Amino acid sequence: MPGSYVAYSRIAMEKTGSILKELESVVSEHPTLISRILRVSENLVRHDLSGALGQLEGFRRAIRRHADIEEDLFLPVYRDLDNIPRTGRAEFFVDEHRRIDSTLDSLVIELQGLSSETATDAGIVSLVEQLGRFRNLIDHHFRREEMTLYPRLREALE
Protein backbone atom coordinates (compact mmCIF):
# COMPACT_ATOMS: atom_id res chain seq x y z
CA MET A 1 0.00 0.00 0.00
CA PRO A 2 2.84 2.49 -0.53
CA GLY A 3 0.75 4.38 -3.07
CA SER A 4 -1.99 5.11 -0.53
CA TYR A 5 0.59 6.42 1.97
CA VAL A 6 2.01 8.77 -0.67
CA ALA A 7 -1.51 9.95 -1.53
CA TYR A 8 -2.29 10.48 2.16
CA SER A 9 0.97 12.39 2.67
CA ARG A 10 0.26 14.61 -0.33
CA ILE A 11 -3.26 15.36 0.95
CA ALA A 12 -1.90 16.11 4.44
CA MET A 13 0.74 18.43 2.98
CA GLU A 14 -1.81 20.22 0.81
CA LYS A 15 -4.10 20.68 3.82
CA THR A 16 -1.21 21.98 5.93
CA GLY A 17 -0.24 24.41 3.17
CA SER A 18 -3.78 25.70 2.85
CA ILE A 19 -4.03 26.18 6.63
CA LEU A 20 -0.78 28.17 6.63
CA LYS A 21 -1.98 30.27 3.70
CA GLU A 22 -5.27 30.97 5.50
CA LEU A 23 -3.36 31.78 8.69
CA GLU A 24 -1.33 34.46 6.93
CA SER A 25 -4.49 35.88 5.39
CA VAL A 26 -6.23 36.09 8.77
CA VAL A 27 -3.19 37.71 10.42
CA SER A 28 -3.05 40.32 7.66
CA GLU A 29 -6.67 41.32 8.42
CA HIS A 30 -5.88 42.60 11.91
CA PRO A 31 -4.84 46.17 10.96
CA THR A 32 -7.81 46.51 8.60
CA LEU A 33 -10.24 45.35 11.27
CA ILE A 34 -8.85 47.84 13.78
CA SER A 35 -9.16 50.66 11.26
CA ARG A 36 -12.79 49.72 10.63
CA ILE A 37 -13.58 50.41 14.30
CA LEU A 38 -11.97 53.84 13.94
CA ARG A 39 -14.19 54.58 10.94
CA VAL A 40 -17.26 53.92 13.06
CA SER A 41 -16.06 56.52 15.56
CA GLU A 42 -15.27 58.99 12.78
CA ASN A 43 -18.81 58.64 11.44
CA LEU A 44 -20.22 59.19 14.92
CA VAL A 45 -18.19 62.36 15.42
CA ARG A 46 -19.66 63.67 12.13
CA HIS A 47 -23.14 62.66 13.42
CA ASP A 48 -23.44 60.26 10.48
CA LEU A 49 -25.41 57.66 12.42
CA SER A 50 -26.42 55.54 9.44
CA GLY A 51 -22.82 55.50 8.20
CA ALA A 52 -21.62 54.50 11.68
CA LEU A 53 -24.22 51.74 11.90
CA GLY A 54 -23.32 50.44 8.44
CA GLN A 55 -19.63 50.41 9.35
CA LEU A 56 -20.31 48.66 12.66
CA GLU A 57 -22.53 46.02 11.06
CA GLY A 58 -19.91 45.42 8.37
CA PHE A 59 -17.26 45.10 11.05
CA ARG A 60 -19.45 42.62 12.93
CA ARG A 61 -19.77 40.41 9.83
CA ALA A 62 -16.02 40.61 9.15
CA ILE A 63 -14.95 39.83 12.72
CA ARG A 64 -17.43 36.94 12.94
CA ARG A 65 -16.02 35.46 9.72
CA HIS A 66 -12.52 35.98 11.13
CA ALA A 67 -13.42 34.21 14.40
CA ASP A 68 -15.20 31.38 12.57
CA ILE A 69 -12.05 30.64 10.57
CA GLU A 70 -10.00 30.60 13.75
CA GLU A 71 -12.46 28.37 15.59
CA ASP A 72 -13.13 25.97 12.70
CA LEU A 73 -9.67 25.74 11.13
CA PHE A 74 -6.95 26.85 13.55
CA LEU A 75 -8.14 25.98 17.04
CA PRO A 76 -8.72 22.27 16.35
CA VAL A 77 -5.05 22.01 15.28
CA TYR A 78 -3.90 24.22 18.17
CA ARG A 79 -5.76 22.12 20.78
CA ASP A 80 -3.67 19.09 19.78
CA LEU A 81 -0.34 20.84 20.39
CA ASP A 82 1.76 20.17 23.48
CA ASN A 83 2.99 22.71 26.02
CA ILE A 84 0.35 25.37 25.48
CA PRO A 85 0.72 28.06 28.14
CA ARG A 86 -2.13 28.22 30.64
CA THR A 87 -3.03 31.74 29.48
CA GLY A 88 -2.99 30.63 25.84
CA ARG A 89 -5.44 27.76 25.96
CA ALA A 90 -7.88 27.50 23.05
CA GLU A 91 -10.81 28.13 25.40
CA PHE A 92 -9.42 31.61 26.15
CA PHE A 93 -9.61 32.52 22.48
CA VAL A 94 -13.15 31.17 22.16
CA ASP A 95 -14.21 33.01 25.34
CA GLU A 96 -12.76 36.24 23.96
CA HIS A 97 -14.65 35.70 20.70
CA ARG A 98 -17.89 35.39 22.70
CA ARG A 99 -17.06 38.54 24.66
CA ILE A 100 -16.35 40.40 21.42
CA ASP A 101 -19.66 39.18 19.97
CA SER A 102 -21.58 40.25 23.06
CA THR A 103 -19.96 43.68 23.18
CA LEU A 104 -20.61 44.19 19.48
CA ASP A 105 -24.26 43.22 19.87
CA SER A 106 -24.64 45.80 22.64
CA LEU A 107 -22.94 48.50 20.57
CA VAL A 108 -25.15 47.77 17.55
CA ILE A 109 -28.31 47.89 19.69
CA GLU A 110 -27.24 51.18 21.24
CA LEU A 111 -26.42 52.68 17.87
CA GLN A 112 -29.70 51.45 16.36
CA GLY A 113 -31.51 53.27 19.18
CA LEU A 114 -30.05 56.62 18.18
CA SER A 115 -31.58 58.96 15.67
CA SER A 116 -30.59 62.42 14.55
CA GLU A 117 -33.37 63.75 16.82
CA THR A 118 -32.33 61.78 19.93
CA ALA A 119 -28.53 61.76 19.58
CA THR A 120 -26.93 64.26 21.93
CA ASP A 121 -23.28 65.25 21.90
CA ALA A 122 -22.88 63.54 25.28
CA GLY A 123 -24.45 60.36 23.90
CA ILE A 124 -22.15 60.41 20.88
CA VAL A 125 -19.10 60.95 23.12
CA SER A 126 -20.19 58.06 25.34
CA LEU A 127 -20.53 55.75 22.35
CA VAL A 128 -17.15 56.83 20.95
CA GLU A 129 -15.61 56.06 24.36
CA GLN A 130 -17.26 52.61 24.37
CA LEU A 131 -15.86 51.99 20.90
CA GLY A 132 -12.41 52.97 22.19
CA ARG A 133 -12.66 50.41 24.99
CA PHE A 134 -13.90 47.85 22.48
CA ARG A 135 -10.98 48.62 20.18
CA ASN A 136 -8.65 47.99 23.15
CA LEU A 137 -10.34 44.61 23.70
CA ILE A 138 -9.88 43.71 20.03
CA ASP A 139 -6.28 44.94 20.02
CA HIS A 140 -5.48 42.87 23.15
CA HIS A 141 -7.11 39.82 21.58
CA PHE A 142 -5.14 40.24 18.35
CA ARG A 143 -1.87 40.65 20.28
CA ARG A 144 -2.60 37.46 22.24
CA GLU A 145 -3.18 35.62 18.97
CA GLU A 146 -0.04 37.07 17.40
CA MET A 147 2.11 36.20 20.43
CA THR A 148 0.72 32.75 21.25
CA LEU A 149 -1.70 31.17 18.80
CA TYR A 150 -0.22 32.02 15.42
CA PRO A 151 3.47 31.33 16.20
CA ARG A 152 2.60 27.92 17.69
CA LEU A 153 0.49 27.06 14.64
CA ARG A 154 3.23 28.14 12.23
CA GLU A 155 5.78 26.09 14.14
CA ALA A 156 3.55 23.00 14.10
CA LEU A 157 2.57 23.30 10.45
CA GLU A 158 5.87 24.22 8.81
Phi, psi values for residue 46, rounded to 5°: -85, 5
Q: How far apart are CA 5 and CA 9, in angstroms?
A: 6
Ordered DSSP codes for 68-125: HHIIIIIHHHHHT-SS--GGG-HHHHHHHHHHHHHHHHHHHHHHHT--TTT--HHHHH
* Structure confidence at residue 158 (pLDDT): 80
Q: pTM of the entire structure?
A: 0.85
Residues of the chain with pLDDT under 70: 1-15
The set of residues, in sequence order, having a beta carbon less than 8 Å from that of 30 and lying 6+ positions away, is 142, 146
Phi, psi values for residue 116, rounded to 5°: -60, -25
Q: Which domains does the chain have, with CATH numbers?
A: 19-157 (1.20.120.520)
Q: How far apart are CA 113 and CA 52, in angstroms?
A: 12
Q: How far apart are CA 140 and CA 138, in angstroms?
A: 5
* Structure confidence at residue 15 (pLDDT): 64
* Structure confidence at residue 114 (pLDDT): 87
* Structure confidence at residue 98 (pLDDT): 97
* Structure confidence at residue 139 (pLDDT): 96
> What does each C-alpha distance from 85 to 11, 39, 90, 92, 152 come to in angstroms?
30, 35, 10, 11, 11
Q: How far apart are CA 72 and CA 15, in angstroms?
A: 14
For the beta carbon of residue 7, count every other beta carbon within 10 angstroms.
11
